[in-house]
Structure 1
Protein backbone atom coordinates (compact mmCIF):
# COMPACT_ATOMS: atom_id res chain seq x y z
CA UNK A 1 0.00 0.00 0.00
CA UNK A 2 2.93 2.32 0.63
CA UNK A 3 3.58 4.65 -2.28
CA UNK A 4 -0.03 4.50 -3.50
CA UNK A 5 -2.94 6.81 -2.84
CA UNK A 6 -5.02 5.85 0.17
CA UNK A 7 -8.27 7.06 1.65
CA UNK A 8 -7.64 7.38 5.39
CA UNK A 9 -10.82 7.35 7.43
CA UNK A 10 -10.43 8.75 10.95
CA UNK A 11 -12.93 8.15 13.73
CA UNK A 12 -12.68 11.10 16.15
CA UNK A 13 -14.53 10.83 19.47
CA UNK A 14 -14.15 14.21 21.15
CA UNK A 15 -13.45 17.68 19.74
CA UNK A 16 -10.11 18.09 21.51
CA UNK A 17 -8.46 14.82 20.40
CA UNK A 18 -7.91 15.04 16.67
CA UNK A 19 -5.52 13.24 14.30
CA UNK A 20 -2.61 15.60 15.04
CA UNK A 21 0.57 14.39 13.36
CA UNK A 22 -1.28 11.50 11.70
CA UNK A 23 -2.60 14.19 9.38
CA UNK A 24 0.98 15.31 8.69
CA UNK A 25 1.91 11.73 7.73
CA UNK A 26 -1.12 11.55 5.45
CA UNK A 27 -0.26 14.82 3.71
CA UNK A 28 3.42 13.95 3.30
CA UNK A 29 2.46 10.69 1.59
CA UNK A 30 -0.14 12.22 -0.70
CA UNK A 31 -3.15 10.50 0.86
CA UNK A 32 -6.62 11.92 1.53
CA UNK A 33 -8.04 12.03 5.04
CA UNK A 34 -11.71 12.03 6.01
CA UNK A 35 -12.58 12.68 9.66
CA UNK A 36 -15.82 11.26 11.06
CA UNK A 37 -17.45 12.25 14.37
CA UNK A 38 -19.76 9.31 15.17
CA UNK A 39 -20.40 10.47 18.77
CA UNK A 40 -22.04 13.63 17.37
CA UNK A 41 -23.34 12.86 13.90
CA UNK A 42 -23.67 9.08 13.96
CA UNK A 43 -22.04 8.42 10.58
CA UNK A 44 -19.30 5.92 9.85
CA UNK A 45 -17.44 5.10 6.64
CA UNK A 46 -17.99 1.81 4.89
CA UNK A 47 -15.26 -0.81 4.74
CA UNK A 48 -15.15 -0.58 0.93
CA UNK A 49 -14.23 3.11 1.05
CA UNK A 50 -11.57 2.61 3.74
CA UNK A 51 -7.90 1.95 2.94
CA UNK A 52 -6.66 2.77 6.44
CA UNK A 53 -8.83 3.19 9.54
CA UNK A 54 -7.57 5.39 12.39
CA UNK A 55 -9.55 5.19 15.64
CA UNK A 56 -8.75 8.02 18.04
CA UNK A 57 -9.20 8.44 21.78
CA UNK A 58 -12.15 9.83 23.69
CA UNK A 59 -13.80 10.09 27.11
CA UNK A 60 -16.11 7.11 26.53
CA UNK A 61 -15.37 3.45 27.21
CA UNK A 62 -15.78 0.61 24.72
CA UNK A 63 -17.79 -1.02 27.51
CA UNK A 64 -20.47 1.69 27.18
CA UNK A 65 -23.76 0.51 25.71
CA UNK A 66 -24.07 2.93 22.80
CA UNK A 67 -25.22 1.93 19.31
CA UNK A 68 -22.46 3.77 17.44
CA UNK A 69 -19.78 2.10 19.59
CA UNK A 70 -21.11 -1.30 18.53
CA UNK A 71 -21.30 -0.13 14.90
CA UNK A 72 -17.65 0.88 15.07
CA UNK A 73 -16.74 -2.63 16.12
CA UNK A 74 -18.69 -4.08 13.20
CA UNK A 75 -16.60 -1.90 10.87
CA UNK A 76 -13.39 -2.93 12.62
CA UNK A 77 -14.26 -6.62 12.28
CA UNK A 78 -14.97 -6.24 8.58
CA UNK A 79 -11.64 -4.51 8.03
CA UNK A 80 -9.83 -7.22 9.99
CA UNK A 81 -11.50 -9.84 7.78
CA UNK A 82 -10.36 -7.85 4.71
CA UNK A 83 -6.78 -7.54 6.05
CA UNK A 84 -6.87 -3.75 5.91
CA UNK A 85 -4.65 -1.62 8.18
CA UNK A 86 -6.03 -0.26 11.45
CA UNK A 87 -4.34 2.13 13.87
CA UNK A 88 -5.96 2.60 17.28
CA UNK A 89 -5.12 5.22 19.91
CA UNK A 90 -6.27 4.90 23.54
CA UNK A 91 -10.04 4.26 23.29
CA UNK A 92 -9.37 3.28 19.66
CA UNK A 93 -6.95 0.54 20.69
CA UNK A 94 -9.46 -0.64 23.27
CA UNK A 95 -12.14 -0.86 20.57
CA UNK A 96 -9.92 -3.14 18.50
CA UNK A 97 -9.37 -5.39 21.51
CA UNK A 98 -13.10 -5.52 22.31
CA UNK A 99 -13.82 -6.40 18.69
CA UNK A 100 -11.45 -9.34 19.00
CA UNK A 101 -13.29 -10.57 22.09
CA UNK A 102 -10.86 -9.48 24.79
CA UNK A 103 -11.38 -7.35 27.88
CA UNK A 104 -11.02 -3.65 28.61
CA UNK A 105 -10.81 -2.96 32.34
CA UNK A 106 -9.73 -0.33 34.83
CA UNK A 107 -5.97 0.11 34.73
CA UNK A 108 -3.98 -0.37 37.95
CA UNK A 109 -3.24 3.37 37.81
CA UNK A 110 -4.74 6.42 36.14
CA UNK A 111 -2.03 7.97 33.97
CA UNK A 112 -2.43 11.55 32.77
CA UNK A 113 0.67 13.44 31.69
CA UNK A 114 4.14 12.67 30.38
CA UNK A 115 5.80 9.37 31.27
CA UNK A 116 8.07 6.87 29.53
CA UNK A 117 7.06 3.70 27.76
CA UNK A 118 9.46 0.87 26.94
CA UNK A 119 9.61 -1.29 23.84
CA UNK A 120 8.75 -4.93 24.54
CA UNK A 121 8.98 -6.42 21.04
CA UNK A 122 11.34 -5.96 18.10
CA UNK A 123 8.93 -7.03 15.37
CA UNK A 124 8.80 -3.46 14.05
CA UNK A 125 12.38 -2.46 13.33
CA UNK A 126 13.98 0.81 14.45
CA UNK A 127 11.44 1.55 17.18
CA UNK A 128 13.21 3.29 20.10
CA UNK A 129 13.72 1.26 23.26
CA UNK A 130 12.17 4.11 25.29
CA UNK A 131 9.80 6.96 24.45
CA UNK A 132 8.54 9.85 26.58
CA UNK A 133 4.86 10.02 25.65
CA UNK A 134 1.59 11.65 26.64
CA UNK A 135 -0.80 9.50 28.66
CA UNK A 136 -4.50 10.31 29.04
CA UNK A 137 -6.27 7.20 30.32
CA UNK A 138 -7.54 5.16 33.25
CA UNK A 139 -8.56 1.96 31.45
CA UNK A 140 -6.40 -0.62 29.73
CA UNK A 141 -6.78 -3.43 27.24
CA UNK A 142 -5.98 -7.12 27.40
CA UNK A 143 -3.42 -8.24 24.81
CA UNK A 144 -5.13 -10.45 22.19
CA UNK A 145 -3.77 -13.96 21.80
CA UNK A 146 -2.50 -13.39 18.26
CA UNK A 147 -0.90 -10.01 19.11
CA UNK A 148 2.46 -9.13 20.61
CA UNK A 149 2.95 -6.71 23.50
CA UNK A 150 4.71 -3.72 21.94
CA UNK A 151 5.08 -1.19 24.79
CA UNK A 152 4.78 -1.04 28.59
CA UNK A 153 5.02 1.78 31.14
CA UNK A 154 6.14 1.70 34.76
CA UNK A 155 2.51 1.72 35.97
CA UNK A 156 0.60 -0.13 33.23
CA UNK A 157 2.08 -3.11 31.42
CA UNK A 158 -0.25 -3.25 28.42
CA UNK A 159 0.54 0.00 26.61
CA UNK A 160 0.72 -1.14 23.02
CA UNK A 161 0.34 -4.14 20.75
CA UNK A 162 0.98 -5.19 17.18
CA UNK A 163 -1.03 -7.89 15.46
CA UNK A 164 0.19 -9.31 12.21
CA UNK A 165 1.29 -6.71 9.70
CA UNK A 166 -1.88 -4.62 9.68
CA UNK A 167 -2.88 -3.61 13.22
CA UNK A 168 -1.24 -1.46 15.88
CA UNK A 169 -2.96 -0.28 19.05
CA UNK A 170 -1.48 2.19 21.55
CA UNK A 171 -2.86 3.10 24.97
CA UNK A 172 -0.83 6.33 24.97
CA UNK A 173 -0.62 9.23 22.51
CA UNK A 174 2.11 9.76 19.93
CA UNK A 175 -0.05 11.86 17.61
CA UNK A 176 -0.41 15.22 19.42
CA UNK A 177 1.82 18.12 18.42
CA UNK A 178 2.23 21.07 20.79
CA UNK A 179 -0.92 22.85 19.59
CA UNK A 180 -2.94 19.66 20.03
CA UNK A 181 -1.72 19.24 23.59
CA UNK A 182 -2.69 22.82 24.40
CA UNK A 183 -6.17 22.06 23.07
CA UNK A 184 -6.42 18.97 25.26
CA UNK A 185 -5.30 20.87 28.34
CA UNK A 186 -7.56 23.91 28.08
CA UNK A 187 -10.62 21.75 27.47
CA UNK A 188 -9.97 18.67 29.63
CA UNK A 189 -7.67 19.83 32.45
CA UNK A 190 -9.99 18.47 35.21
CA UNK A 191 -9.02 14.97 34.05
CA UNK A 192 -5.57 15.42 35.62
CA UNK A 193 -7.11 14.90 39.06
CA UNK A 194 -6.26 11.51 40.50
CA UNK A 195 -3.40 10.74 38.12
CA UNK A 196 -0.45 8.87 39.64
CA UNK A 197 1.86 11.05 37.53
CA UNK A 198 0.98 14.09 39.68
CA UNK A 199 1.56 16.62 36.92
CA UNK A 200 0.07 20.09 36.67
CA UNK A 201 -1.16 21.72 33.49
CA UNK A 202 2.07 23.74 33.48
CA UNK A 203 4.13 20.55 33.76
CA UNK A 204 2.44 19.15 30.68
CA UNK A 205 2.44 22.34 28.63
CA UNK A 206 6.09 23.23 29.20
CA UNK A 207 7.31 19.81 28.08
CA UNK A 208 8.51 19.87 24.48
CA UNK A 209 7.06 17.13 22.32
CA UNK A 210 9.98 14.77 21.61
CA UNK A 211 10.80 14.60 17.91
CA UNK A 212 11.12 10.82 18.07
CA UNK A 213 7.42 10.60 18.94
CA UNK A 214 6.69 11.85 15.42
CA UNK A 215 9.26 9.58 13.78
CA UNK A 216 7.99 6.56 15.71
CA UNK A 217 4.39 7.36 14.80
CA UNK A 218 5.39 7.54 11.13
CA UNK A 219 7.26 4.21 11.38
CA UNK A 220 4.22 2.51 12.86
CA UNK A 221 1.92 3.89 10.15
CA UNK A 222 4.41 2.90 7.44
CA UNK A 223 4.62 -0.60 8.92
CA UNK A 224 0.89 -1.34 8.78
CA UNK A 225 0.44 0.22 5.32
CA UNK A 226 3.53 -1.23 3.62
Structure 2
Protein backbone atom coordinates (compact mmCIF):
# COMPACT_ATOMS: atom_id res chain seq x y z
CA UNK A 1 0.00 0.00 0.00
CA UNK A 2 1.36 3.41 -0.97
CA UNK A 3 2.19 5.79 1.85
CA UNK A 4 -0.22 8.67 2.34
CA UNK A 5 1.41 12.09 2.04
CA UNK A 6 0.80 14.64 4.80
CA UNK A 7 -1.49 17.49 3.80
CA UNK A 8 -1.25 21.22 4.49
CA UNK A 9 -4.26 23.53 4.19
CA UNK A 10 -3.60 27.16 3.29
CA UNK A 11 -6.38 29.52 4.40
CA UNK A 12 -6.33 32.37 1.86
CA UNK A 13 -7.87 35.13 3.97
CA UNK A 14 -7.38 37.72 1.21
CA UNK A 15 -7.64 36.87 -2.50
CA UNK A 16 -4.32 38.58 -3.26
CA UNK A 17 -2.43 36.96 -0.35
CA UNK A 18 -1.71 33.45 -1.63
CA UNK A 19 0.75 30.80 -0.48
CA UNK A 20 3.28 31.38 -3.33
CA UNK A 21 6.81 30.30 -2.29
CA UNK A 22 5.57 28.88 1.01
CA UNK A 23 3.38 26.39 -0.84
CA UNK A 24 6.37 25.32 -2.92
CA UNK A 25 8.42 24.78 0.23
CA UNK A 26 5.78 22.46 1.71
CA UNK A 27 5.66 20.50 -1.56
CA UNK A 28 9.44 20.16 -1.36
CA UNK A 29 8.92 18.59 2.07
CA UNK A 30 6.53 15.96 0.69
CA UNK A 31 3.21 17.62 1.47
CA UNK A 32 0.05 17.64 -0.60
CA UNK A 33 -1.36 21.18 -0.70
CA UNK A 34 -5.01 22.17 -0.29
CA UNK A 35 -6.18 25.79 -0.55
CA UNK A 36 -9.38 27.32 0.81
CA UNK A 37 -10.41 30.86 -0.19
CA UNK A 38 -11.89 32.56 2.86
CA UNK A 39 -12.59 35.89 1.15
CA UNK A 40 -13.05 35.55 -2.59
CA UNK A 41 -12.08 38.16 -5.14
CA UNK A 42 -15.74 39.14 -5.54
CA UNK A 43 -15.92 40.05 -1.83
CA UNK A 44 -12.56 41.81 -1.61
CA UNK A 45 -14.10 45.25 -1.12
CA UNK A 46 -16.63 44.00 1.45
CA UNK A 47 -14.89 41.17 3.27
CA UNK A 48 -17.28 40.69 6.20
CA UNK A 49 -19.72 37.81 5.94
CA UNK A 50 -20.25 34.23 6.98
CA UNK A 51 -17.92 31.57 5.59
CA UNK A 52 -18.48 27.80 5.50
CA UNK A 53 -15.01 26.53 6.40
CA UNK A 54 -13.82 22.97 5.85
CA UNK A 55 -13.03 20.82 8.89
CA UNK A 56 -9.50 21.90 9.83
CA UNK A 57 -9.04 18.85 12.04
CA UNK A 58 -8.50 16.63 8.99
CA UNK A 59 -5.17 18.23 8.09
CA UNK A 60 -1.65 17.76 9.35
CA UNK A 61 -0.84 21.48 9.12
CA UNK A 62 -3.08 24.53 8.70
CA UNK A 63 -1.59 27.84 7.54
CA UNK A 64 -3.75 30.98 7.89
CA UNK A 65 -2.23 33.54 5.51
CA UNK A 66 -2.12 37.33 5.32
CA UNK A 67 -4.81 39.92 4.67
CA UNK A 68 -5.10 43.66 4.24
CA UNK A 69 -7.58 44.05 7.12
CA UNK A 70 -6.96 44.13 10.88
CA UNK A 71 -7.78 40.96 12.80
CA UNK A 72 -9.61 43.04 15.41
CA UNK A 73 -12.06 44.63 12.93
CA UNK A 74 -15.47 44.35 14.62
CA UNK A 75 -17.41 43.28 11.51
CA UNK A 76 -14.86 40.57 10.72
CA UNK A 77 -14.77 39.36 14.32
CA UNK A 78 -18.54 38.97 14.18
CA UNK A 79 -18.27 36.89 11.02
CA UNK A 80 -15.47 34.77 9.57
CA UNK A 81 -12.58 35.92 11.78
CA UNK A 82 -14.46 34.83 14.89
CA UNK A 83 -15.39 31.56 13.22
CA UNK A 84 -11.82 30.92 12.08
CA UNK A 85 -10.49 31.58 15.58
CA UNK A 86 -12.76 28.90 17.04
CA UNK A 87 -11.82 26.45 14.30
CA UNK A 88 -8.12 27.07 14.96
CA UNK A 89 -8.66 26.38 18.66
CA UNK A 90 -10.48 23.15 17.78
CA UNK A 91 -7.72 22.16 15.35
CA UNK A 92 -5.01 22.80 17.95
CA UNK A 93 -6.94 20.70 20.48
CA UNK A 94 -7.05 17.90 17.89
CA UNK A 95 -3.28 18.02 17.43
CA UNK A 96 -3.13 19.91 14.13
CA UNK A 97 0.02 22.02 13.72
CA UNK A 98 -0.58 25.70 12.91
CA UNK A 99 1.63 28.21 11.09
CA UNK A 100 0.27 31.78 10.87
CA UNK A 101 1.67 34.34 8.44
CA UNK A 102 1.33 38.11 9.14
CA UNK A 103 -2.46 38.54 9.54
CA UNK A 104 -2.46 34.79 10.18
CA UNK A 105 0.21 35.14 12.85
CA UNK A 106 -1.73 37.95 14.48
CA UNK A 107 -4.82 35.77 14.27
CA UNK A 108 -3.04 33.00 16.18
CA UNK A 109 -1.91 35.49 18.81
CA UNK A 110 -5.45 36.80 19.21
CA UNK A 111 -6.94 33.29 19.18
CA UNK A 112 -4.81 32.03 22.04
CA UNK A 113 -5.10 35.01 24.38
CA UNK A 114 -2.71 37.66 23.08
CA UNK A 115 -3.74 41.04 21.72
CA UNK A 116 -3.26 42.82 18.40
CA UNK A 117 -3.11 46.60 18.12
CA UNK A 118 -1.83 49.29 15.78
CA UNK A 119 1.94 49.52 15.76
CA UNK A 120 3.62 52.91 16.29
CA UNK A 121 5.72 52.18 13.19
CA UNK A 122 4.58 50.15 10.17
CA UNK A 123 7.04 47.85 8.46
CA UNK A 124 7.02 47.67 4.66
CA UNK A 125 9.89 46.18 2.71
CA UNK A 126 12.86 44.01 3.66
CA UNK A 127 13.88 44.05 7.35
CA UNK A 128 16.61 42.17 9.14
CA UNK A 129 15.02 39.82 11.66
CA UNK A 130 16.97 38.81 14.77
CA UNK A 131 16.31 35.17 15.64
CA UNK A 132 17.04 33.40 18.92
CA UNK A 133 16.46 30.02 17.26
CA UNK A 134 17.76 30.09 13.68
CA UNK A 135 17.13 26.35 13.43
CA UNK A 136 13.43 27.27 13.42
CA UNK A 137 13.37 30.82 12.01
CA UNK A 138 16.51 31.77 10.08
CA UNK A 139 17.58 35.31 10.86
CA UNK A 140 18.33 37.92 8.25
CA UNK A 141 16.18 39.78 5.71
CA UNK A 142 12.49 38.90 5.49
CA UNK A 143 9.75 40.80 3.68
CA UNK A 144 7.27 42.82 5.74
CA UNK A 145 4.00 44.62 5.06
CA UNK A 146 2.05 45.27 8.24
CA UNK A 147 0.63 48.05 10.38
CA UNK A 148 -0.34 46.06 13.48
CA UNK A 149 1.62 44.02 16.01
CA UNK A 150 0.78 41.43 18.63
CA UNK A 151 1.39 40.87 22.30
CA UNK A 152 2.30 37.28 23.04
CA UNK A 153 -0.36 34.78 24.09
CA UNK A 154 0.10 33.33 27.58
CA UNK A 155 2.74 30.61 27.51
CA UNK A 156 4.14 31.61 24.11
CA UNK A 157 7.87 31.93 23.52
CA UNK A 158 9.06 34.79 21.29
CA UNK A 159 11.90 33.55 19.11
CA UNK A 160 12.44 36.41 16.63
CA UNK A 161 11.97 40.18 16.45
CA UNK A 162 12.90 43.49 14.85
CA UNK A 163 13.30 46.72 16.76
CA UNK A 164 9.70 47.56 15.87
CA UNK A 165 7.78 44.35 16.50
CA UNK A 166 7.83 40.73 17.59
CA UNK A 167 8.37 38.59 14.49
CA UNK A 168 7.85 34.98 15.57
CA UNK A 169 6.49 33.06 18.52
CA UNK A 170 5.95 29.40 19.33
CA UNK A 171 3.09 28.10 21.44
CA UNK A 172 2.86 24.32 21.61
CA UNK A 173 2.48 23.08 18.01
CA UNK A 174 1.66 26.56 16.68
CA UNK A 175 3.99 29.23 15.33
CA UNK A 176 3.09 32.79 14.39
CA UNK A 177 5.16 34.81 11.91
CA UNK A 178 4.86 38.56 11.43
CA UNK A 179 6.87 38.61 8.18
CA UNK A 180 5.97 37.20 4.75
CA UNK A 181 8.21 34.26 3.76
CA UNK A 182 5.92 33.48 0.82
CA UNK A 183 6.61 36.65 -1.18
CA UNK A 184 7.91 36.38 -4.73
CA UNK A 185 7.89 38.91 -7.57
CA UNK A 186 4.45 37.91 -8.87
CA UNK A 187 2.85 38.18 -5.45
CA UNK A 188 4.51 41.50 -4.71
CA UNK A 189 3.37 42.91 -8.06
CA UNK A 190 -0.22 41.99 -7.14
CA UNK A 191 0.14 43.78 -3.80
CA UNK A 192 1.65 46.86 -5.39
CA UNK A 193 -1.15 46.98 -7.97
CA UNK A 194 -3.62 46.97 -5.08
CA UNK A 195 -1.79 49.70 -3.12
CA UNK A 196 -4.67 52.14 -3.51
CA UNK A 197 -3.81 54.16 -0.42
CA UNK A 198 -0.18 54.71 -1.39
CA UNK A 199 1.19 52.84 1.62
CA UNK A 200 4.53 52.17 -0.06
CA UNK A 201 5.15 55.82 -0.92
CA UNK A 202 3.99 56.88 2.56
CA UNK A 203 6.66 54.58 3.98
CA UNK A 204 9.32 56.42 1.96
CA UNK A 205 9.72 53.68 -0.66
CA UNK A 206 8.75 53.28 -4.29
CA UNK A 207 7.46 50.30 -6.25
CA UNK A 208 10.54 49.87 -8.43
CA UNK A 209 12.78 49.91 -5.38
CA UNK A 210 10.78 47.15 -3.68
CA UNK A 211 10.63 45.03 -6.84
CA UNK A 212 14.37 45.37 -7.47
CA UNK A 213 15.24 44.47 -3.88
CA UNK A 214 12.87 41.49 -4.00
CA UNK A 215 14.34 40.26 -7.29
CA UNK A 216 17.83 40.56 -5.83
CA UNK A 217 16.92 38.52 -2.75
CA UNK A 218 14.63 35.87 -4.27
CA UNK A 219 17.35 33.35 -5.13
CA UNK A 220 18.98 33.64 -1.71
CA UNK A 221 15.65 33.58 0.11
CA UNK A 222 14.29 30.36 -1.44
CA UNK A 223 16.55 27.97 0.56
CA UNK A 224 15.88 29.98 3.73
CA UNK A 225 12.14 29.43 3.22
CA UNK A 226 12.76 25.68 2.93
CA UNK A 227 14.84 25.89 6.13
CA UNK A 228 11.99 27.76 7.83
CA UNK A 229 9.47 25.08 6.87
CA UNK A 230 11.91 22.36 7.90
CA UNK A 231 12.46 24.04 11.26
CA UNK A 232 8.73 24.42 11.81
CA UNK A 233 8.01 20.79 10.90
CA UNK A 234 10.86 19.46 13.04
CA UNK A 235 10.74 21.61 16.15
CA UNK A 236 7.15 22.88 16.29
CA UNK A 237 4.87 20.49 14.39
CA UNK A 238 7.16 17.65 15.48
CA UNK A 239 6.63 18.29 19.19
CA UNK A 240 4.33 16.11 21.25
CA UNK A 241 0.63 16.23 20.45
CA UNK A 242 -1.73 17.24 23.26
CA UNK A 243 -3.15 14.34 25.27
Q: CA deviation at 1:4?
A: 5.8
Using the size of structure 2 for normalisation, the TM-score is 0.81
What corresponds to 1:205 in structure 2?
Answer: 211
Give the count of matched residue pairs: 217
* 2-structure distance, mates of 1:127, 1:34: 24
Tell me which residue corresponds to 1:73.
Answer: 85
The reply to whether residue 194 of structure 1 matches residue 205 of structure 2 is no
Aligned to 2:129: 117
> Residues 133 and 213 of structure 1 are in contact (CA less than 8 Å); yes or no, is this contact kept in structure 2?
no
Contact 1:52 1:86 in 2 (8 A): yes
> Partner residue of 1:108?
120
Given the two structures, how large is their TM-score scaled by the length of structure 1? 0.87
Kindly indicate whether the alpha-carbon contact (under 8 Å) linking 2:168 and 2:176 is maintained by their aligned counterparts in 1.
yes
Q: Pick the structure with greater CA Rg.
A: 2
- The equivalent of 1:219 in structure 2 is 230
Q: What secondary structure, in the 3-state scheme, does the structure 1 residue paired with 2:57 have?
A: coil
**What secondary structure does 1:8 align onto?**
strand
Q: CA RMSD in A?
A: 2.1
- Counting only pairs closer than 5 Å after superposition, residues 129-208 of structure 1 correspond to structure 2 as 130-156=139-165, 158-164=166-172, 166-188=173-195, 190-195=198-203, 198-207=204-213, 208=216
d(CA) in 2 for partners of 1:71, 1:117 = 32
Unaligned runs of 5+ residues in structure 2 are 44-50, 239-243
1: CA distance between counterparts of 2:231 and 2:192?
Answer: 26
Distance 1:44 1:126, change over 3 A: closer
Moved over 4 A (4+): none
For residues 6 and 114 of structure 2, the distance between their equivalents in structure 1, rounded to whole angstroms, comes to 30
Contact 1:143 1:149 in 2 (8 A): yes
- Point out the structure with the larger helix share: 2
